[in-house]
Amino acid sequence: MIIRERQDEFIFIEQHNHALVSGELAKQWRKDLLPASSLPQSVIYAIEQHDAGWIPADKEPFWNDTKGMPYSFIDFPAPTKILLYTYGIDEVQKTDAYAALLCSEHYVRFLQQEESESAKHFVQQEQKRQESILSSLPSFHEEQFDYHYALLQFCDNLSLFLCLNEPGKNTHPFFTKGIPLPSTLPHFSQEKMAVTWVDKQKIALKEFPFAKAFTITYAFKQIPKFHIEKNGLLNSYVNTPFQQTTIALTKAEAAN
């Protein structure tokens, strides 16, 4: 779950809804920037499903007693989070092996420096999974895979920028200096992409990798804190309807 705290309420964005935004970003990618003539459907599927493991958990969010607020994906207990990662990759693999390979690499890189036993076990198991998938693929192009993985990283980060920040503001510490640009996306001149809020409904990107200006929409729930105090987190969440936010993406030079 992505959580934004306001003075009197919390904003909840389910991880899968954020991932669907990532997928929409990938679909808008300029074809002339791709290593092949088009983006394989497997890659789009991986990007839009990379947080599929969170789907069941986010339907019933958890309360963090220590912080006095709901758990987010950032502070969610690591052993349980790792189980969700595994479940999500399993679910993706049922449909598309190459997509599962991308998702597996995504989470392995999160955890390969962790020292906990659960993290080490996860990395070992995923390395075995990756070897198995690679042996089953009719062909594998490492440079294309690196590009596809970098695209997943970038779309994930840009979607997180949109979801973690309040519309019109860039205050979340992950992105105050811009969106990280993987070195395997060779089209950009900087290590981070500058992003500017034009207003609450529009952002401008200095280096624009998309085919045209477009809009994305994500679903969220807005729950007053007193509702949670009165009815509990689970009841409050289940009984609150989704709302939607729509944000336009455009080139910086065309912002005005």
Q: Where are the domains of the chain?
A: 2-254
Instruction: State the CB neighbour count (10 A cutoff) for residue 131.
Output: 10
Query: Does the pLDDT at position 238 exceed 80?
Result: yes
In the numeric block, the tokens 């074809």 are attached to 31
pTM of the model: 0.94
Query: Does the pLDDT at position 225 exceed 50?
Result: yes
Q: What is the pLDDT of residues 148-199, one digit of tens each?
A: 999 999 999 999 999 999 999 999 999 998 999 988 887 887 888 889 999 9
Query: Does the pLDDT at position 254 exceed 70?
Result: no
Residue 15: closest CA among 83, 110, 84: 84
pLDDT at 89: 98
CB 69 within 8 A of CB 83: no
Please tell me the distance from the alpha carbon of residue 226 to that of residue 135, in angstroms, as a whole number. Answer: 54
Pairing between β-strand 195-199 and β-strand 202-205 as defined by DSSP bridges = antiparallel
CA terminus-to-terminus distance, the chain:
34
Question: Mean pLDDT over residues 141-149, rounded?
Answer: 94
Query: Does the pLDDT at position 79 exceed 50?
Result: yes
CB 93 within 8 A of CB 62: no
Share of the chain above pLDDT 90, in %: 84
CB 103 within 8 A of CB 110: no
Please tell me the distance from the alpha carbon of residue 159 to that of residue 154, in angstroms, as a whole number. Answer: 8
Q: What is the pLDDT of residues 37-63, one digit of tens each?
A: 778 999 999 999 999 999 999 999 999
